[in-house]
Each structure stands twice: as structure tokens, then as C-alpha cells.
Amino acid sequence: MHEMSIVQGLIAIIEEEMENAGATRLRSVRVKIGEMAGILPDALKTAFEIITAQNGMNCAMLNMDIAPLMGYCRKCNKEFKVIGYNFSCLECHSSDIDIISGREMNIVEIEVE
Ligand SMILES: [Zn+2]
């Protein structure tokens, strides 16, 4: 389950943030997960629960926002939502596009005490 290593990376960042802020307890984390980031939200939640328990952060909450897959058309300079893995522009049907979001995973917010 590669979500375990993702969460380990996440916790490392959080611990550093907590140390910098002088915080002792993690309340919640909000992450943004791209639709196509290759992360299963359920698996991420399970991994988060396991790892936070190991690190004595038992009560921490994980909140997840799913970011839609967005494309950018190089031909007509429009941004559009990619629906049903149809990787072509909705306006001009060009397939000369860039994926601009939907593959990322970011920490949006960390709440500590
Ligand atoms: Zn277009």
C-alpha cells in the first residue's frame, strides 16, 4: 500500500511544522488530492490512522478535498474539466492540451495545539 509512504512523508512535514510552531498536539490535517493522483482516499485514511496512532497523534483528523482533473488547451487557451478521461478540449476538440491539476497532493491546512 503506497499510501503508507505518502502518509509517512506527510507526517514528517507536519512534525516539522509542529516543532516550528511549538505545538504539542495535532488536531487535524486537510489535504487536497488530485482525482488522478493515484491515491485511494480510503487507503490514505487507513494509513493515516495507523501512522498517527504509532506516533502518539491518536486523535488527529484527516480531511480530504478531491481536486478535479483540469486541462488547458494550447490551441484556444481555455481551461476545462476533464470528464470521463476524455483528454481533448471541450471547445475545439484539440488534443494538444496540458494537464494543469488533478495529479497533485498538497497539505492545505494543519491545525495544532
Ligand atoms: Zn481548445
| Residues by chain with Cβ below 5 Å of ion ligand 1 | 73, 75-76, 89, 91-92, 94
Local confidence band at 58 (pLDDT 50, 70, 90 cut-offs): confident
SS3 of 70, please?
strand
Question: 45: CA distance to ligand 1 center in Å?
Answer: 37
Question: 50: CA distance to ligand 1 center in Å?
Answer: 45
Question: 89: CA distance to ligand 1 center in Å?
Answer: 4
- Which of 38, 25, 21 lies closest to 104 in space, CA to CA? 38
Mean pLDDT of 28-37: 96
Which pLDDT score, from 0 to 100, does residue 14 have?
Answer: 96
Mean pLDDT of 66-78: 96
From residue 20, give the alpha-carbon distance in Å to each of 9, 16, 26, 60.
Answer: 17, 6, 13, 18
